[in-house]
Amino acid sequence: MIAATLEHAIAQKTAKVGVIGLGYVGLPLVRAFLKAGFPTMGFDIDPCKVEKLRAGESYIKHIGADWIREGVQNGRFEPTHDFGRLGEPDALLICVPTPLNESRDPDLQYIERTGEQIAETLRQGQLVVLESTTYPGTTREVLLPRLEKSGLKVGEDFFLAYSPEREDPGNPKYSAENIPKVVGGIDEVSGRLAQLLYKHVVAEVVPVSSCEVAEACKILENTYRSVNIALVNELKVLFARMGIDIWEVIEAARTKPFGFQAFYPGPGLGGHCIPIDPFYLSWLARKYGMVTRFIELAGEINTSMPDYVVKRLVEGLNEHGKPLRGSKVLILGVAYKKDVDDPRESPAFAIMERLLGGGAILSYNDPHIPSLPPMRHYKLPALWSVDLTPEILRSQDCVLIVTDHSAYDYQFIVDHSRLVIDTRNATRNVTRGREKIRKA
């Protein structure tokens, strides 16, 4: 009877959907459910975010504000930092961070805390779905016991599922609505209810047999990318010694219509998923007495890329008779990928830390990030994005391209720079001054 009541509310779109965590994953999810016609609530611990949303403003550059303003004004979207109201929505979707701790083990404090907060107001008929990326077993072993402290029984009184987020910030082609959604329930009833909910907002729901399969699916997706990026990063270093351009090699290889998918090298991995998720799997494997050598080797290669970039930069300075200490270095781009304002796990910070340690005088420009945000793992000075003028470029001993934003005029940059270190092949179409460019 309880499940049938929730199923009816979902079918009629009267079920209220609450999204916990209004960041790069949660906010697009709110938009998708609003667009589908569901009343929504948004929960976040940051009162500044909540106030901006209540004012009809977006704090994420690639997410427009019109739908926020409309949703708040017509009462269909209510942002709040009052977690005492978690009992109001019929469905709660958890989109909180899952970082690594200092020893690169999973840090599940945000999932644990959220589960405990939900349990305080959990009522009959609520569906809880975890979307945060994590290792297989988290939903059943970590979240479920905390929810059951409410005294309610899963599968009868409340329902629990896992559905991994698949957001790609800044990608104009794919959004929450048109990316297939994998859904696995803690039990059959929970899985069916979660599938029914998501069918209203996404193009395709992909049901799997359990939460563990859905959790493992997400880890596989990002580990696959990490390993293949590590491969081309290692080949980049090898081919550079041989005088071969890895970018030209990849472009030639990708003409094969089968059996090859292009991955591209870079200055290191960034974002919340690829640099982190494979370590979740390695940690879990150790619990089962296994060593995931392939995954750990890929992690070693990818995390070594900032050192390689700095080495190439030092070599470029040496060619100009300049030591690193005292040299002025301008970093172009500190976002983890092009055309977004997301700095999470950006390799730019590791590179900047190493350059500062070597005595370089640093500045940066990023059209999407006006000031350096505080980072847990890096000790960097307060810096603000400088204007990209001919005078600024000429005053630098080296310009280092870390993020290849579309807003940059790379010919202009090369024209006015003494030395350009390019980690993204961003200068491929530059025609003048190519003698100033070094690939890294």
Separation CA 325–CA 355 (nearest Å): 9
Of the candidates 115, 130, 127, 197, the one whose C-alpha atom is nearest the C-alpha of residue 155 is 127
Cβ neighbours around 237 below 10 Å, total? 17
95, 211, 217, 273: which is the annotated catalytic residue? 273
Cβ neighbours around 259 below 10 Å, total? 6
Q: Residue 85 has what DSSP assignment? A: G
Catalytic residue list contains 95: no
Residues across the chain: 440
Residue 410 neighbours by CB under 8 Å, 6+ apart: 401, 426, 427, 429, 430
Structure tokens of 181? 């959604």
For CA atoms 128, 133, 138, 143, the dihedral sign is negative
Q: Residue 324 has what DSSP assignment? A: S
Residue 20 neighbours by CB under 8 Å, 6+ apart: 26, 43, 44, 86, 92, 93, 94, 95, 96, 114
Query: What positions carry a catalytic annotation?
Result: 273
